[in-house]
Structure 1
Amino acid sequence: MDRNGWIGIALSVIVFSILFFMPLPNGMTVEGQKSLAIFSAALIMWVAKPIPIYQTSIIAILLLPLIGAVEDQEIAFGTLGFDIIWLMVAAFVLTSAISETNLGKRMALFMVTRFGKTKKRTLAVLVIVNFILAFFVPSTTARASLIMPIAIVLLEVYKAVPGESKFGKLMMLQGVQNNAFATSMVVTATSAQVIAMGFINQQAGGSIGYMQWLIGSAPQAVLTALITFFVGVKLYNINAEDNEDPEKANTIQGILKKQLDELGSMSVKEKKAAFIFLITLILWATGDYQEALLGFAISTEQTAVLAMLLCLLPGIGVLTWKQANIKWDLMIFSAGAYAVGNAFNDSGGATWIIERLVATIGLDRLPHSIVAVILIFITIFSHLIFTSKTVRTTILIPAIISIALTLGMDAVSLALACSFGIASTITLPPHSKVNTLYFGSGYFSVLDELKFGLISCFINASVISIVYFTWLQIVL
């Protein structure tokens, strides 16, 4: 272990000890204090990586019931049975099916040779696809499960090595971010936004619907995605690579076109995989309407498991269990991350911190414009403290409406602007299912996502602030 690893361990132990043994703060539960200590220590270990991240998760799972952060050990150990874990397993099987049959390679080669003449244009194509799919596949995890397999095959064609390729790192990180930005544009893309809309209409007297949300949010979503796209290209030097060596780019295009021609006609297995993929897409895209049309609904996770079953069934499927590239270390890491996050949320620790933060700032003593900007930034960056979008919405949006009404501000426009930031949970793998799925690709580290995520969150908060002072004042 290197020097930085030992520093990470020491810092983690020190932070844990301080938070665990400090006097119980007024208003915080004992369980909240203990879960805060574990959450903070685990976060440091996940970033510093002195040991593999799944080992940190195992330690966290053991500590939660051992020191009394949770009352029942099932709360900690049961996270391995969460629906997100099943979704991840199914997504890896579907990815393997698309890859093993060459369907993914065919799709990737077609996209790149037709639209992605350079690495930068390839990234741009994926951004556009993410935004288009947001209307047809509202589920964030479903969209990630659809796009990630294609992105992985694209990177394989470019011979991008996980953990080493800057191109691969940027593609996967922007996959995480553009999923969030596209989600913020479509109110039904996450239940937290629907809840926020309900609060705005009921408590602030608004009349926000699907189109009002779309019209209000689209400028910030598109502008944020555009800025972060160019920031990412500059940060990872993608633009310079393409401009400095156009001959190499042309050579790659020639190789890719030749590979596409060599695939020939679609095989039977490819057609089967395409059919399974199409069924999955249709079920995900119609998730909001199945109850009305069929009398029952198939959840995102159920659809994913059904797709996994079809991929593996003898005679129908296209691969064996051994061919499925399932990353079990990621499953353990995710289980620990969700166990710690849930304990922190359920114990009231996250709520306590947010309430104290708002009170400490003293919002009632600041100009209205400053209050608006602060609340927008808090809404976005609050996901660093706790992961659940629903919990953040339930805590923050009513509080923001109350603050706005108390200060004589327009509660509808302010709460709506803040609600646009709910989806921006893009800084750490445990902060959303989408993050965890993309993190499983192995192309970026926890620290990579943290650094680029913080930059993108700042951009998003700044853009939303501008939209609040300009566009929302016109359209509302």
Structure 2
Amino acid sequence: MKKWGIPIAIVAFLLLIFMPTPEGMEPAAQKSIAVFVAALVLWVTTPIPIYLTSLIAILMLPLIGAVEDQKVAFGTLGFDVIWLMVSAFVLTSAMMKSNLGRRFSLWMVTKFGKTPKRTLIVLVVINFVLAFFVPSTTARATLMMPICLILLEVYRAIPGKSPLGKVMMLQGLQADALATSGVMTATAGNIIAVGFINEQAGGDIGYMDWLFASMPASIITMAITFAIGLKLFSIKEEGNFENVMGTLQDELKNLGSFSLAEKKATIIFLLTVFLWATGDYQEGWFGFEISTAQTAVIAALLCLLPKVGMLEWKDANIKWELMIFAAGAYAAGNALDDSGGAVWLISKLVDGLGIDQMSHTMVAVVVIFLSMYSHLIFTSKTVRVTILIPAFIALAKTLGMDPVPLALAAAMTMTYTITLPPHSKVNTIYFSTGYFSVLDQMKYAVVTCFIGASVISLLYFTWFNVLGL
């Protein structure tokens, strides 16, 4: 794919640029489609880093006349969701450097995990709690996996053979993914999806809107699949589990008393969650509202302020390549939407597949299941979001459906990258322990994805109505 990515992208771009403009399509739309398709090929095949592809797209859009004003392309780096992503990386760095995440996880396990089954439940709960504080799936996996390894090593679980080892690691990566689906700021992909929904679909989705819509689906799916996991990989109540607890308690003691950095991180994170949770009430309380992005920037500022925070700028692991990628994705996606290219493409797709003959109910179910299993083709959450969410918004507009709930339901599936080890870094981290095989992961994930899509579909027609979506 890397070998042929660039030639295919160039050929596709030239063919789309120089072909006769189809009836009903504006020239700007044709140019936007050409840039988007070329960028899409490069994003999927990755012959060059994805952020370089975004830079090329940002440069080409005004250069060939796909957008009239270059600010439309170059200005995307100033979107509020970009700042939200920057702040999310700062918060993750603060959690890692302060050791607050490791302390919390060890305390939860030693306090509540008295048996293997209860320990599995606690590990799932920790994953869900950390999703609110650590906006990085990889960072959470990095926090959780060593704790799991300590548990299994003391429990004398044999990698590749121990059912407890299999289910603990597999539920770890699944809990990471499902918890991420429930919290808007838990991954950059969710933030990018909200940006598309609010910009292109005219939505007003905020932190609490996402939480109330998605978290119930995540919890229900996790509860069902947790029970299924115990059936697939039966664990036996045997061995001296108190020895495991003793070792973990020693690990916790080695962290010592709460450090000043941990205290500062705790205060900042509690303030952040409070501001996010009370966004709908702040206007009445204070006479003004602090947005989700503003709250994140305030938190990042507090983490970095001398004497107030616990980070220096060099400690903030901000992934600027992801910022550039997101900016280019927004530029290409918005140009496609503003020029009418997205609507034209979707209308042709609708005509070709006969989707317009389906009921709106069937369309919603098809979209949710397609979105769920799309990770089998596209391994990057951010690339999938960039490709699919604008397409589903355009589809909804074409069919006369409300694009906001449809795109939101589709976005809720984007974090379910759990089927194979290469589908996410989290999968790779857990797979590297050797406790489960590819087949173990695949058979568990196929069931989980089906249940997840079914639950989201059900809530789309019921819970979304209760929420006014």
Distance in 1 between residues matched to 2:101 and 2:108, nearest whole Å: 11
Secondary structure, aligned partner of 1:145: coil
Aligned to 2:268: 276
Q: Identity over the aligned pairs, expressed in percent? A: 45
Letter in 1 for 2:181: Q
Cα distance in 1 for residues equivalent to 2:296 and 2:462:
41
> Cα gap change, 1:128/1:44 in structure 2, threshold over 3 Å: closer, same or farther?
same
Task: Say whether residues 1:36 and 2:26 are aligned partners.
Answer: no
Selected match of 1:339 from 302, 310, 331: 331
Select 2:20's aligned residue among 19, 23, 27.
Answer: 23
**Is the counterpart of residue 9 in structure 1 residue 31 in structure 2?**
no
Judging changes above 3 Å, is the alpha-carbon distance between structure 1 residues 257 and 350 closer, same or farther for their aligned structure 2 residues? farther
2:312 paired with 1:315:
no
Question: What is the aligned length?
Answer: 401
Map of 2:375 onto structure 1? none
Distance across 1 between alignment mates of 2:394 and 2:105: 37
Measured in 2, the distance between the counterparts of 1:455 and 1:34 equals 41
**Counterpart for residue 377 of structure 1:** 366
What residue is the counterpart of 2:400 in the other structure?
399
Shift in Å at residue 295 of structure 1? Answer: 0.7
Aligned to 2:341: 349
Note the C-alpha offset of 1:306.
0.9
1:211-230 correspondence to structure 2 within 5 Å: 223-225=220-222
CA displacement at 1:111 relative to structure 2 = 3.3
**Matched residue, 2:257:** 265
Pick aligned residue for 2:409 from 417, 421, 434: 421
Letter in 2 for 1:124: V
What is the CA-CA distance between 1:266 and the residue it aligns to? 0.9
The answer as to whether partners of 2:137 and 2:426 remain within 8 angstroms in 1 is no
CA contact (8 A) 1:176 1:426 kept: no
Give the distance between the partners of 2:8 and 2:445, measured in 1 at CA: 23
Distance, in Å, in 1 between the alignment partners of 2:392 and 2:289 is: 21
- Cα deviation, 1:293-323, whole Å, max 9, x if unaligned, reads 1110011111111111111212211121122
Q: Provide the C-alpha distance between the structure 2 equivalents of 1:70 and 1:228, rounded to a whole number of angstroms.
A: 47
Q: Are positions 1:107 and 2:107 aligned together?
A: no
Query: What TM-score results when the alignment is normalised by the length of structure 2?
Result: 0.66
Query: 1:51: which partner in 2?
Result: 48
Which deviations, in whole Å up to 9, do the C-alpha atoms of 1:200-252 show, x marking residues without a partner? Answer: xxxxxxxxxx9xxx8x9998665555567789x79xxxx86x969x9899987
| Bigger mean CA offset, 12-21 vs 454-463 | 454-463
Question: Which secondary structure state, in structure 2, belongs to the residue aligned with residue 387 of structure 1?
Answer: helix
Distance 2:351 2:427 in 1: 37
Equivalent residue for 2:60, pick from 49, 58, 63: 63
Instruction: Provide the rounded CA distance (Å) in 1 between the counterparts of 2:26 and 2:337.
Output: 12
For the Cα contact (< 8 Å) 2:221–2:452, is it kept in 1? yes
Q: Deviations over 1:102-153 (max 9, x none)?
A: 21221222234445758964663256548xx9xxxxxxxx777398865553
Residue 43 (structure 1) shift? 2.2
- Does structure 1 residue 85 correspond to structure 2 residue 82? yes
Q: Any unmatched runs of 5+ in structure 2?
A: 151-168, 187-192, 372-384, 418-423, 429-441
Residues 471, 149 of structure 1: alpha-carbon distance in 2 compared, 3 angstrom cutoff: closer
Give the deviation of 1:19 after TM superposition: 2.9
Q: CA RMSD in A?
A: 5.2
**Aligned partners of 2:416, 2:18: CA distance in 1, in Å?**
27
Match of 2:72 among 60, 70, 75: 75
